[in-house]
Amino acid sequence: MAEPDAPDRPAPPPETYEAIMQATYRAFCKHGYADLTTREIAEEFAKSRSLLHYHYDTKQELIVALLDYLLESHPAKAATDEIADPDERLELFIDRGLFGPQEAAFDFWDFHTALLELRLHAHRNDAYREQLDRTIGLITDLLAETIREGIEKGRFHDVDPEETAQFLYDAIDAARIRKITLGHDDAPRRTKHAIETFVLPTLRASDDDR
């Protein structure tokens, strides 16, 4: 089992770090969380198994590091840099959350299936719970920041940005969970429509309000 505090091992150089994280990501998508071992991760890693273990000792350390790694390139972060208009940016957040990135992402649903498995384990594992809480918190913070910006620019009504961000995140999350667990393939599309019916019109200030 993993130590609560990671031992002092040298941080991998950037190229090795990238290769280890990509291997962890592939193994996580392929095997899910519960059935995953460091052996499967090592199998996806082109370099030596001992190099992997030189930097990471346990599956838990690798998964916690993977969540940090993925957060760095999260679409919500990219959208903040790419799109100046908060309303357009919010729509992109919603679309990417429900349908995945625009480029063919064959692994989007495999990843979310494995992530759901991990989240269930988080119930009894402090390291995972804290990391997932931090990760989801950073994504909803970006969403809340966009909503706050929209309010300041007079584009959105004066709602609670954090609560609204969390509500949108939850709606997207629940649609993904229904698609994964119950096979409701139309869940993302119908949730998009419900968000357009209930959330966006309430959020958007009409021209009269500006």
Q: Which of residues 81-140 bind a second copy (CB under 8 A)?
A: 113, 116-117, 119-120, 122-123, 129, 132-133, 136
Q: For residue 183, state whether it binds a second copy (rule: CB under 8 A).
A: yes
**Is the CB of 124 or the CB of 210 nearer to a second copy?**
124
74, 139 contact by CB (below 8 A): yes
Tell me which of 105, 158, 201, 209 binds a second copy, using CB under 8 A: 201
Q: For residue 173, state whether it binds a second copy (rule: CB under 8 A).
A: yes
Q: How far is the CB of 161 from a second copy (least distance, A)?
A: 12
The phi, psi pair for 57, rounded to 5°, reads: -90, -35
**Is the CB of 21 or the CB of 175 nearer to a second copy?**
175
**Is the CB of 137 or the CB of 154 nearer to a second copy?**
137
Nearest Cα neighbor of 7 from 54, 47, 41, 42 is: 54
**Is the CB of 29 or the CB of 42 nearer to a second copy?**
29
Q: For residue 61, state whether it binds a second copy (rule: CB under 8 A).
A: no
**Is the CB of 153 or the CB of 193 nearer to a second copy?**
193
To 5 degrees, how large is the angle CA 135–CA 138–CA 140? 110
Instruction: Compute how many other C-beta atoms are within 10 angstroms of the C-beta atom of residue 20.
Output: 24
DSSP string, 110-130: HHHHHHHHHHHHHTT-HHHHH
User: How many angstroms separate the CA atoms of 44 and 39, rounded?
Assistant: 9
Q: For residue 4, state whether it binds a second copy (rule: CB under 8 A).
A: no
Q: Which structure tokens are listed for 146?
A: 């966009």
Q: How far is the CB of 201 from a second copy (least distance, A)?
A: 7
Instruction: Compute how many other C-beta atoms are within 10 angstroms of the C-beta atom of residue 132.
Output: 18
**Is the CB of 15 or the CB of 123 nearer to a second copy?**
123
Q: How far is the CB of 125 from a second copy (least distance, A)?
A: 10
Nearest Cα neighbor of 96 from 200, 176, 21, 9 is: 176
User: How many angstroms separate the CA atoms of 42 and 94, rounded?
Assistant: 35
Give residues in contact with a second copy (CB under 8 A): 113, 116-117, 119-120, 122-123, 129, 132-133, 136, 159-160, 163-164, 166-167, 170-171, 173-175, 177-178, 180-184, 187, 190-191, 193-194, 197-199, 201-203
